[in-house]
Amino acid sequence: MAPGTTEQIAYPIIKKRFEKRGIDSEPLLAHSYERVMHGREYLRSIRNFWRVCSGVNEESKRRVVKFLSEVLNTENYPLTVLDRLIESETAKIVENSYRATILAFLDEWSIFAERNYVDLKKVIEAIKVRPTHSNMVFPGPGIGGYFLPKDGGLGMWSYKHIFGFEDDIFRITPAAIDINDTPSLHVAQLVRDSLRNMGKTIAAAEVLILGTSNREDVGDTRYSGSEIIVRKLTEMGADVKVHDPYVENWWEFEK
């Protein structure tokens, strides 16, 4: 959700409907964004995870805290209640944009490592010994899921179209979005170059892609890096086959 949506768009619409129906009370609106881990721990992660929330007014905050406290394990995973709705909305966007930016940053260094015969996995493990860098992630063949690739764009969109600012303050976020589209293309190029080194061409190759979902142990293919790999290899002329035990129909290719 783009920051500002709840208070700047949803609230005025609901307020007008209240007035047309003769309802004098203020609408009660709250926001608490999704924090879950897809896969085997999906249901458990809904209840046993730290959540952030806020409300349009104090009564909204009180009710959303009461509701979440009844359905979530807030005793072991306390709620973070922010002062304003936009703060809760922005937390979601920054949380995902941060991770996407780190992945884009490390993708650049993965190219450096590849060209200089550096084992980047060992490098990252050596860095992670330092507590301040313990959450450093290893880059993969593109970032997947329905949030990391797009959430930074939602923040940029709201800055201009909800809040009306005309200047361009975002430089790192759009660059990260663009960079994160390239790792999957690079995988296809590596396949092509490997075949060339063996004296073969991509046009005569049969390529098997193992895994089409955007994360291990799930059947969700939205924004999967595998999709770009398959499309690029097919464009190069390869005969591509895919297999994923969690995916029965890959809807992006049903069109």
Same domain, 199 and 129: no
- Residues belonging to the chain: 255
Question: Per the structure, how many domains does the chain have?
Answer: 2
Q: What is the mean pLDDT of the chain?
A: 91
Same domain, 189 and 162: no
Last residue in a domain, options 164, 179, 194: 179
Measured CA distances, 98 to 63, 196, 212 (Å): 30, 37, 25
Same domain, 102 and 189: no
pTM of the predicted model as reported, rounded to 2 decimal places? 0.85
Measured CA distances, 33 to 7, 43, 95, 112 (Å): 15, 16, 11, 36
Same domain, 191 and 141: no
For the stretch 45-97, pLDDT in tens is: 889 999 999 999 999 999 999 999 999 999 999 999 999 999 999 999 999 99
For the stretch 129-174, pLDDT in tens is: 999 999 888 888 877 776 777 889 999 999 999 999 999 999 999 9
How buried is residue 188: exposed, middle or buried, by Cβ count under 10 Å (0-12/13-18/19+)? buried
Last residue in a domain, options 119, 149, 179: 179
CATH assignment at residue 119 = 1.10.1040.10
- Name the residue range of residue 215's domain: 183-253
Torsion of CA 162, 164, 168, 174, to 10 degrees: 10
